[in-house]
Amino acid sequence: AETLANTTFGTEQFTAEQKEYLRDFFAKVAESRPLPFVGHTAAGLITNDRSSGLANQAEPAEETYFGAPVSDLCREERWKFEQNPLDLWDKLLEHANENKVPAVEDVFRFKFHGLFYVAPAQDSFMLRMRVPGGVIKSHQLRGLAELASLYGAGRAEMTTRSNFQLREFQPKDIVRVLNKVQSLGMSSRGSGADNVRNITASPLAGIDPCELYDVAPLAEALNAYIYNSRDMYGLPRKFNVAFDGGGNISVVADTNDIGFLAVEVGEGQDVPAGIYFRVLLCGITGHKQFASDCGVLLRPDQTVAVAAAMIRVFAENGDRTDRKKARLKYLVDTWGVERFLAETEKRLAFPLIHLAAESCKPRKPINRQGHIGVHPQSQKGMNYIGVVVPVGRVTAEQMVTLARVAEHFGTGELRLTVWQNALVPNVADANVDAAVEAIRAAGLNIEVGGVLGGTVACTGNKGCKYAASDTKSHAVELANFLDERFRILQPVNLHVTGCSHSCAQHYIGDIGLMGVKVNGEEGYQVNIGGGSDQDQGIGRELIPAIRFADLPAAMEGLFAAYTEQRGAEESFLEF
C-alpha cells in the first residue's frame, strides 16, 4: 500500500494529510480485494471506487456495510446490502416478462432506475426522468410524449426539480420504456431513492442578460460524472444539488443539499477579482432549514470536483442505521462544517479557498415572474418565451406542440424550470408572435394571474400514497379563484404539498399548504410568509387544519387584508 501510494501519488502536489488518507485507503483496499482504478482526475479529484465497498458487501465475513454492522442497518440499507439496486436488469426483465408487480424491497430498488410503483394511489409505475439543468431537446420531448401515449397515461408532469414524470406504465412495459429512454440519449437512473436527484441549474443559463456565469455545462458535467461513477449511487439518503448562475430566474439553490451560487468578487480581496461560486450546504426545507454559506469560495472549474468529493464524504460517513437522521444535514450537524470541509479537502487535489460571503458582491435581484412571458435574451434580437403549465400538468399533444414550436421558431431546445413550466429559448424577434400563437393554439398560455403563475404542487393523492389531498387540482382551483377576485401586481407563490415530505416545499411559499385530513375530508395546514433566495424565510403556521371546501373563502379574507395593507414592493413576508 505504501509503495502504491508513493508510486501513484509520490509527487509534491499532495499534502501530507492527503497522502495519509490515500495510504490508509490503499491499505484498506489491499486487505480486501484487487485495486480498482484510483487516480487524480483532470477535474482535480482524488477518486476511489466505492463500488469496491459495494462488492465487499458480498463477502459474508465482512458483515458490515459502509462501516455499519449489517444487523444495525435500517431496512432500506439492508436491501441495498443484499442486492445492489444498480444490478437489477434481470429482475426488471423478469417483471416485464411476467407482467408482475414488485415486492416491497424491489419497489425501493426499482426507484434507482426511476421506476416508482405507486400503489395504492395507482396500480402502475411512474417514471421519473433526469433532465440535467432542465435542458431538453425537442426530439427528446417528442420521445417522452410518444412514451406517454404508447404505454402511459398520455400526459406528463413537470416537476419542481426541472424534470419530467410520466405515469401509468404497466410492469410488462417497463423494460421497453427504459430502452426507449436510453435511445433518446436520456436517463432515469438515480432519479429516485437514495441517489443524487436531477441536477438543477438556472433555466436561463447562457441566454440571461443578468447572469454571472453559464451554469448549464456544470450541471451537465456533474450529471455525467455521477452517471459514470457507481459509487455515486446508493447514498444514505437522497441528495439535491443546484447551480445558480446569479441571473434572473431563481433555481431555489438554497433549498438543496449543495447549492452553488455564482458571485462576483471585486478588487482588494485575497483572490483575483472575477466570478466565483459560493457553496451553500444542507438545505432541507421540509425540516425548516435553508442551505447556508459554508465560507468557501470556488473557481467555476472546481465546482464539479467539490460536489463529487462532498457526495463521497456523505456516502462514506452518513448514517445508514436511522433514515430520519440520514440526510447530509445530520452528518454536518454532528461533525460541524469545519470537519466536513476538511474531509472534503482530503479528496481534492487543490486546497479550498476560504473567504467570507460578505467579501463578495450581493446577488442581483430575482424576477419572480421571469419564467413566464416573452423576455429578451443576452443575444441581440433573440427572446425566450416562458410558457405557463399550471402545476406542471401537460398532455402528450402539448409536449409535441412545444417540441414543434422549439424546432420551427427556436433552435430545437427547451428549458424546464423549478416553477413547473417550460421556456422556449432562441426565438428571433420576428418569430415571437407566430410562436406565441402556436403555443396558444395548443391550449397553453404565456401570461396568467399573479397567483397561478407562481403556483407549484406536488403529485397529490392522484398518484402518491402519502398524500392527504388532491394537491394539483386544489392548487389550480384556489389560484384561479384568487386571480379572478384580486389583481395581484406582486406575484404570489403558492406551494401546495400533499404531506410532510414537502416535495412542493410548502415552507418557502408566500402561501404554503400541506395536506391534512380534517374529519376525514381533504384539507390543509396553511402557512404564510415563506420565501427563498432574496426573500428567504420559513413560513409560519396560520391555520393548523382547514377543509379545502372552506379554504378559498379563508384565503379571500387573507388576500383582502393583504391588498389593503401592502406597500408597493411588499410580499407576504411582511405579514
The smaller minimum CB distance to ligand SF4, of residues 344 and 502, is found at 502
Q: Give the max Cα distance, the chain.
A: 75
* CA–CA distance, 392 with 162 (Å, rounded to integer): 10
For residue 402, the minimal CB distance to ligand SF4 (Å) is: 24
Name which of 264, 320, 333 is nearest 292 in CA terms: 333
The answer to whether 170 and 151 have CB atoms below 8 angstroms apart is: yes
* CA–CA distance, 448 with 432 (Å, rounded to integer): 18
The stretch near ligand SF4 (CB under 6 A) out of 98-106, 165-173, 339-347, 497-505 is 497-505
The answer to whether 436 and 386 have CB atoms below 8 angstroms apart is: no
The stretch near ligand SF4 (CB under 6 A) out of 51-59, 102-110, 324-332, 501-509 is 501-509
The smaller minimum CB distance to ligand SF4, of residues 449 and 515, is found at 515
The smaller minimum CB distance to ligand SF4, of residues 196 and 464, is found at 464
Q: Should residue 497 be labelled a site residue for ligand SF4 when binding is judged by CB under 6 A? A: yes
Residues 6+ apart with CB under 8 A from 389: 158, 398, 420, 421, 422, 444
Q: Should residue 200 be labelled a site residue for ligand SF4 when binding is judged by CB under 6 A? A: no
Tracing cell 469560495 back to the chain, one arrives at 297
Q: Binding pattern to ligand SF4, positions 457-496, x when CB under 6 A?
A: -xx----x-xx-----------------------------
Q: Should residue 442 be labelled a site residue for ligand SF4 when binding is judged by CB under 6 A? A: no
Q: Should residue 503 be labelled a site residue for ligand SF4 when binding is judged by CB under 6 A? A: yes
Torsion region of 99: left, alpha or beta (phi above 0 gives left; psi -120 to 50 gives alpha): left
Instruction: State how far the alpha carbon of 306 is from the alpha carbons of 74, 294, 526, in Å.
Output: 29, 13, 38
HSE value, Cβ hemisphere, 13 Å, CA-based, for 44: 17
The stretch near ligand SF4 (CB under 6 A) out of 186-194, 291-299, 306-314, 499-507 is 499-507
The smaller minimum CB distance to ligand SF4, of residues 424 and 456, is found at 456
Tracing cell 501530507 back to the chain, one arrives at 16
DSSP string for 121-163: T-SSEEEE-B-GGGEEEHHHHHHHHHHHHHHS-SEEEE-TTS-
The smaller minimum CB distance to ligand SF4, of residues 116 and 276, is found at 116
* CA–CA distance, 513 with 474 (Å, rounded to integer): 10
The secondary structure element, H or E, covering residue 376 is: strand 373-376
Name which of 447, 528, 444 is nearest 488 in CA terms: 447
For residue 501, the minimal CB distance to ligand SF4 (Å) is: 4
For residue 520, the minimal CB distance to ligand SF4 (Å) is: 18
Count of Cβ atoms closer than 10 Å to residue 225 Cβ = 21
Position 348: which residue type?
A: L
For residue 286, the minimal CB distance to ligand SF4 (Å) is: 8
Q: Residue number with the shortest CB distance to ligand SF4?
A: 498
- Please identify which residue in 100, 288, 361, 501 interacts with ligand SF4, judged by CB under 6 A: 501
The stretch near ligand SF4 (CB under 6 A) out of 15-23, 185-193, 456-464, 559-567 is 456-464
Q: Should residue 502 be labelled a site residue for ligand SF4 when binding is judged by CB under 6 A? A: yes
Spell out the SS3 assignment of 236-297: CCCECEEEECCCCCCCCHHHCCEEEEEEEECCCCCCCCEEEEEEEECCEHHHCECCEEEEEE
The smaller minimum CB distance to ligand SF4, of residues 366 and 514, is found at 514
**How open is the CA angle 54-22-242, to the nearest 5 degrees?**
65
The smaller minimum CB distance to ligand SF4, of residues 410 and 539, is found at 539
The smaller minimum CB distance to ligand SF4, of residues 232 and 391, is found at 391
For residue 458, the minimal CB distance to ligand SF4 (Å) is: 3
- The site that binds ligand SF4 (CB under 6 A) totals a number of residues, namely 11
For residue 110, the minimal CB distance to ligand SF4 (Å) is: 17
For residue 108, the minimal CB distance to ligand SF4 (Å) is: 14
* CA–CA distance, 40 with 45 (Å, rounded to integer): 6
The smaller minimum CB distance to ligand SF4, of residues 502 and 525, is found at 502
For residue 503, the minimal CB distance to ligand SF4 (Å) is: 3
Count of Cβ atoms closer than 10 Å to residue 451 Cβ = 25
The smaller minimum CB distance to ligand SF4, of residues 346 and 495, is found at 495
For residue 202, the minimal CB distance to ligand SF4 (Å) is: 24
The smaller minimum CB distance to ligand SF4, of residues 131 and 467, is found at 467
The smaller minimum CB distance to ligand SF4, of residues 498 and 531, is found at 498
Position 534: which residue type?
A: Q
Count of Cβ atoms closer than 10 Å to residue 62 Cβ = 13
The smaller minimum CB distance to ligand SF4, of residues 157 and 345, is found at 157
Query: Which residues, 308 to 347, sit near ligand SF4 by CB under 6 A?
Result: none
- Please identify which residue in 232, 406, 442, 499 interacts with ligand SF4, judged by CB under 6 A: 499
The stretch near ligand SF4 (CB under 6 A) out of 85-93, 425-433, 498-506, 548-556 is 498-506
For residue 532, the minimal CB distance to ligand SF4 (Å) is: 17
In a 3-state reduction of DSSP, which class is residue 222?
helix
Q: Should residue 517 be labelled a site residue for ligand SF4 when binding is judged by CB under 6 A? A: no
Give the interface with ligand SF4 as residue ranges (CB under 6 A): 458-459, 464, 466-467, 497-499, 501-503
